[in-house]
Amino acid sequence: MFKKAYSFNKEIEKMQSNSLARSKNLSTSLPDNLSNIDINKQMLIHKLPFIASIEVSLQVAENAINKLLNSIREDKWLDHIEDTEYTWRNIEDKKLKTPQDLWDLRCCITEQTLISMRYDINEHNRNTEKYFYFVCYIQTIPIGIIQLKHYDIEKQNSLTVNNLITHPGIKNCSYLLMEKAVNKSYEMDFNGKLQLMTATDELNRVYHRMGFIDNDDYMTLDPNGNNFWTFYTEDEVYKFNNSSILSI
């Protein structure tokens, strides 16, 4: 897949690549101050034109999660961290976080979120919640996944983003999955509205840049009248305004 030194890179090598950036439970992407840091001189993928995001079945989602998790481990993206759960909590306790801390935090959240998603899938058939999955692919290789949840309660007026993750070597792809979530919400008569909880406060700024606002324990998104989003009436689809992208 995407090795730190190289792997899927025969395709990537031919393209221009920008420096660095990337996507608990719950949702992941990279803070602003990592967008120009070159750690380990890893090649990162930036908005490749042949990326596709599609809705998939539970079985396909499970396969994509396992492939993504295994490739990140096998390609040594996590080799510098002995225990991602412990390291995550240790970094969270720091008042001042270095660029390396933030990079390590992303790596930790990536692994732990994929583990959490795998558990959620195993529990899927024993729950009353409805899950929806979209996977982002480069050709046939999964590079990101979003897990949405619909609670069967009368007062729910939005769809919940339960998890969002992208490969550590990916830049500016999270919004592609969020577009799918917004349009799924619209399809379900929630007017494109979403809610989520972030794994760490470091991620709040990422979702602010996608138009989310803080709302008690949750962050919420209403794409209607939102400068980050446009609704195209002819196609009945919401699109994220690409000019708003800042290392999402």
Structural domains in the chain (count): 1
- Residues of the domain holding 164: 49-244
In a domain, 11, yes or no: no
Distance CA 9, CA 155 (A): 48
41 in a structural domain: no
Residue 9, domain member (yes or no): no
> Is residue 16 in some structural domain?
no
Residue whose tokens read 């596709």 = 52
Question: Over the Cα atoms of the chain, what is R_g?
Answer: 17
Asked, for residue 42, whether it belongs to a domain, the answer is no
217: domain CATH number is 3.40.630.30
Place of tokens 């002995």: 82
Per-residue pLDDT tens listing for the chain (248 residues): 555 543 333 333 333 233 223 333 334 443 333 333 333 334 444 555 678 899 999 899 999 999 999 999 999 999 999 899 898 888 888 889 889 998 999 899 999 999 999 888 877 665 646 889 999 999 889 999 999 998 766 667 889 999 999 998 887 789 999 999 999 999 999 999 999 998 888 788 889 999 999 998 899 999 999 999 999 999 999 999 875 554 44
- Specify if 108 maps to a domain: yes
Q: Which residue bears the tokens 């481990």?
A: 73
- Provide the whole-model pTM: 0.78
Query: Phi and psi (nearest 5°) for 115?
Result: -65, -45
